[in-house]
Amino acid sequence: MQQTMPHNHLSSDTTEGIHQLTRRQLLQVSAGTLGLLATSGISLAALCPSVTTPPQTRGPFFPYDQVVSFPIREEDDESLPLILSNDNDLTFIKGKPGKAQGQIIYFRGQVLSGGTSDSKVCQTIPGATVLLWQANFSGRYNHKGDVSSPQHFPHPKTGKLIERVQDDYFQYWGKTVTDEQGYFLFKTILPSFYPAADDWYRPPHLHFSIQAKGHPEFVTQTYFKGDALPNIALIQDLNAKDWILRNPKISPTQQEQVIVEYAPDQAQNLQDGLVGTCQFLLAE
C-alpha cells in the first residue's frame, strides 16, 4: 500500500523527536514534508523498550465500510475505504460546527522493530500506516454491531444508569503515517468504559492497527493511567480486571507497556489535553 499522509491536522516533529513537539512546530511542519520523509524509508536507531508490544484482539467494532452506523469521510477520494479516509485529529469533523465531548488527550507513539538484548537499540519504522479506532465519551462505537447494545448501562460502582449516545462531532477513527523516526501523533478524547459481558466492563482503551512494510498487520490496544485523568480510581480498577489486558499470555511487563500514563504536557505545548506516550515494538 502506498504510504501517504494527506490532510493531517497534527504532525510530530521530524528532527527533535516526540518530546520536543511544540505548537509552533505543529504549524510549521507541513504534512507534505512529513509525508515525503515518511516514505523515504530511512530507518534510524532508537532506544528499545524492554519487551515487544503484545498483540491484542481487534475486537468487534473495527469500522469497515459496511458496518459503520454513519460514515465519516474527511477525504474526498471515494476510492479510499472509510478507515483510511480520516485524519489524526478525532476531536472534530471537517465541516461540522461542534467539538467532540470528553477529556481531550494526545497519543504520541513511536513504531520500532528489532533490537537485541545486548544493545537495546531498535530500528525506527518510517512510513507505517497507523489506524486508531475507539468508543466515544459515553462508551459507544460508530458501528452497527454496537447499536444493539443497551442504550443505558449501570455504572460499575454506583449502579447509576449511564446513557450511551452517539456524538455527532466525534470522528471515531483516524489514520496517520509515522515520520522518519517512527513517530506519530493523534489528538482524540478519553473513551468511556463500557459493559462487554455480565460482570465485565472494558476499561477505557484505544484500538490500534499498524501496517508497516515487511511486517504483518499488527493489532493491539492501549489503556490509561495517570492521576490527572477523570475517574482514575475506577479506570485502575477496571484495568486490573480486564480479561483482554490481563490475558495470561501477556507478560506483566508487556501489560504495563500498554497502560499509558497521561499527564499535562510538561513543556506545555499541548495545553488543551493530557498527553500520553507509548512505544510499539514489533516482533521481528
Contacts to Fe ion by CB under 5 A: 59
Q: Give the residue closest to Fe ion by C-beta.
A: 59
Beta-carbon contacts of 72 under 8 Å, excluding residues fewer than 6 positions away, are: 82, 85, 86, 93, 142, 171, 172, 173
Cβ 59 to Fe ion shortest distance, Å = 5
CB 276, min distance to Fe ion, A: 17
Q: How far is the CB of 228 from Fe ion (least distance, A)?
A: 23
User: Please, which residues have CB within 8 angstroms of residue 252's CB and are 6 or more apart in sequence?
Assistant: none
Residue type, 148: S
Report the alpha-carbon angle 230-266-278, nearest 5: 70
Instruction: Specify the residue, 55 or 59, whose C-beta has the smaller distance to Fe ion.
Output: 59
Amino acid at 211: Q
**Measured from the CB atom, is 29 or 72 closer to Fe ion?**
72
User: In terms of CB distance, is 59 or 156 closer to Fe ion?
Assistant: 59
Q: How far is the CB of 107 from Fe ion (least distance, A)?
A: 15
- 196 close to 154: Cβ distance less than 8 angstroms: no
Closest CB to Fe ion among residues 219, 232:
219
Distance (Å, rounded) from C-alpha 37 to C-alpha 46?
17
Q: Which amino acid is at 24?
A: R
List, in sequence order, the alpha helices (H) in 116-269.
144-147, 232-241, 252-257
The CB density around residue 144, as the number of other CB atoms within 10 Å, is: 13
Least Å from the CB of residue 220 to Fe ion: 12
Q: Please, which residue, 177 or 238, has the CB nearer to Fe ion?
A: 238
